[in-house]
Amino acid sequence: MGGLPFAGYAKGGLFRFAFMPKNLRRVTGRGDLHFITFCCYQRRALLGTVRARNLAVQILGQVRARYGFALVGYVIMPEHVHLLIGESETVSPAKVVQVFKQRLSRRMRARKRAEAKQLRLRFSEGEAELRRFWQRRYYDFNVYTRAKLREKLDYMHANPVKEKLVAHPREWPWSSWSYYATGEGLLKMEAV
């Protein structure tokens, strides 16, 4: 989780109009950017495996292809996800989050069921454990300025290092760091 954007906003409306563009069209040509955060159920590390994070990245790419929003940055952490996405004419950020969550939890459940069968676990045990995959709520902050855009990208790319998962962002392929640093990566970003 990052800090609240525009902490000065609450101090008065004039502050906002003093130097904040009305929307990010001036920056991206696509409307506002949204910095979105959502967590696994009870902050469990349900994305704690390489396979789970690879699947998350694959599904993120599929959802973007389906709805055509700009994907500007992301990081898949073991127990939460951050996305920096643009608005699209066909779909709201809320819908993007919902579809991503649904697709990923369904795929993870299917995989777990198959594993449980192999291990001959009682089906109901696996079901109880997997009833919930995500926390219901998510956090959405509008990003209006280039400074805030930079801050959110830096925050996402540094997140695995801050959590002591790796020593350098390059060692965590499940973020947009490598795209910005090398032009390559698991997903191509719409750099703005």
Please give the residue ranges that form the binding site for Ni ion (CB under 5 A).
159
Helix (H, G, I), strand (E, B) or coil at 179: helix
Closest chain position to Ni ion (CB)? 159
CB of 124 to Ni ion, least distance (A): 34
Q: In 10 A of CB 24, how many CB atoms? A: 23
CB of 116 to Ni ion, least distance (A): 30
CB of 85 to Ni ion, least distance (A): 16
Of 69 and 74, the one with the shorter C-beta distance to Ni ion is: 74
CB of 127 to Ni ion, least distance (A): 30
Of 159 and 178, the one with the shorter C-beta distance to Ni ion is: 159
Of 159 and 176, the one with the shorter C-beta distance to Ni ion is: 159
CB of 48 to Ni ion, least distance (A): 15
Enumerate residues 6+ apart whose C-beta is below 8 A from 139: 1, 36, 37, 38
> Which region, left, alpha or beta, applies to residue 31 given φ > 0 means left and ψ of -120 to 50 means alpha?
left
Of 44 and 113, the one with the shorter C-beta distance to Ni ion is: 44
Of 116 and 176, the one with the shorter C-beta distance to Ni ion is: 176
Q: In 3D, which of 66, 72, 140 has the Cα closest to residue 103?
A: 66
The size of the chain, in residues, is: 192
DSSP letter at 3 equals P
Cα(159)–Cα(155) distance, rounded to whole angstroms?
6
Q: Which amino acid is at 174?
A: W
Instruction: Outline where DSSP puts E strands in 4-132.
Output: 33-40, 71-76, 80-86
CB of 159 to Ni ion, least distance (A): 5
DSSP letter at 23 equals S
Of 75 and 116, the one with the shorter C-beta distance to Ni ion is: 75
